[in-house]
């Protein structure tokens, strides 16, 4: 048996399922859907799996947006938009599909503000 963490992750696979329906999303948007559909997971864990998924080719960074504002941590925020990568293998989880049909999320291109 190989040492270390297994490459496969149920959290990352669930994120692939969510992103397969959303097409593209920020990390926090994926987190909000995840927390509504699946058991609780920390935001820190979600961002770890997004980075790991990019390394493994399951996710791809579509674009990085920098927005100016007055935030507690500084004068700007960096929003990373993710899409599915070539190694993603979604199985089209019906639970996610039903949730997103009942609670639609605005597409990234049509955001206010």
What CATH number does residue 100 fall under? 1.10.10.10
In a domain, 5, yes or no: no
In a domain, 46, yes or no: yes
Q: Kindly state whether residue 1 falls inside one of the protein's structural domains.
A: no
The total domain count for the chain is 1
Please choose, from the candidates 98, 112, 111, 109, the residue with its C-alpha nearest in 3D space to the C-alpha of residue 23: 109
Token readout for 94 is: 């019906």
33, part of any domain = yes
Mean pLDDT, range 85-92, rounded to an integer: 94
Query: pLDDT confidence of 111, banded at 50, 70, 90?
Result: very low
**21 belongs to a structural domain:** yes
Cβ count within 10 A of residue 59: 26
What range defines the domain where residue 77 resides? 10-106
Angle made by CA atoms 67, 20, 43, in degrees to the nearest 5: 50
111 within some domain: no
pLDDT confidence bin for 103, thresholds 50/70/90 = confident
Asked whether residue 43 is assigned to any structural domain, the reply reads: yes
pLDDT at 1: 65
The answer to whether the beta carbons of residues 88 and 14 sit under 8 Å apart is no
């Amino acid at each position: 048996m190989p040492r270390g963490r297994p490459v496969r992750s149920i959290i990352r696979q669930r994120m692939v399922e969510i992103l397969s329906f959303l097409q593209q999303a920020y990390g926090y948007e994926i987190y909000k859907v995840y927390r509504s559909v699946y058991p609780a997971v920390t935001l820190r864990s979600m961002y770890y799996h997004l980075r790991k998924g990019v390394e493994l080719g399951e996710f791809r960074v579509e674009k990085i947006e920098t927005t100016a504002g007055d935030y507690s941590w500084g004068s700007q925020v960096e929003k990373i938009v993710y899409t599915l990568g070539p190694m993603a293998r979604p199985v089209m989880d019906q639970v996610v599909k039903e949730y997103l049909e009942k609670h639609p999320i605005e597409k990234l291109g049509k955001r206010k503000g």
